[in-house]
């Protein structure tokens, strides 16, 4: 059996105020709580947003990174577009810069696997170099789970 993993990242705007950053992080806490109580939610990668470990891995300063695992694409889509998450993402220009390339990626994983940030980075690289494939894709071009 396979689950769907998703990862996304953004970069704080250079002159973001502490007030704006705090507002986003508080909203993110609400989004995460909602996700954890949503149908099909399996797991979320947790990190310290003030750490520079992911900045180094992704080569982007001031990174904001998110990765979750869901039972089905339908569960992930429902959460992503029909809940507080969707309304929060409509405000992303208040907090984040626009970066080149794909900043959201999906891929299938065995149901007993927890992906790493390095694995997500590798999937972003595949997607940005090859476009959507079975190994790394987007909501716009989905692939079925492996048999």
pLDDT of residue 49: 64
In tens, the pLDDT along 9-43 reads 999 888 888 888 888 888 888 888 999 999 999 99
- Percentage of residues in the chain having pLDDT higher than 90: 54
Domains of the chain in start order, with CATH, are 2-130 (3.30.70.100)
The two structure tokens encoding residue 115: 């992906």
Measured CA to CA, the distance from residue 19 to residue 100 in angstroms comes to 27
Reported pTM: 0.90
Instruction: Please state the φ and ψ torsions of residue 121, each to the nearest 5 degrees.
Output: -60, -45
In tens, the pLDDT along 88-106 reads 878 888 888 888 889 899 9
Measured CA to CA, the distance from residue 137 to residue 108 in angstroms comes to 10
């Amino acid at each position: 059996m396979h689950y769907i993993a998703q990862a996304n990242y953004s970069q704080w705007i250079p002159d973001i105020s502490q007030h704006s950053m705090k507002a986003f992080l508080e909203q993110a806490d609400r989004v995460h709580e909602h996700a954890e109580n949503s149908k099909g939610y399996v797991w979320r990668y947790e990190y310290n947003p003030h750490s520079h470990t992911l900045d180094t891995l992704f080569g982007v300063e001031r990174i904001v990174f998110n990765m979750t695992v869901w039972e089905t694409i339908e569960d992930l889509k429902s959460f992503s577009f029909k809940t507080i998450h969707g309304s929060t993402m409509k405000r992303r220009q208040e907090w984040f810069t626009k970066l080149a390339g794909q900043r959201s990626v999906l891929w299938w994983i065995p149901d007993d696997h927890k992906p790493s940030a390095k694995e997500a980075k590798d999937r972003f690289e595949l997607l940005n170099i090859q476009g959507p494939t079975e190994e790394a894709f987007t909501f716009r071009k989905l692939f079925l789970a492996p048999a």
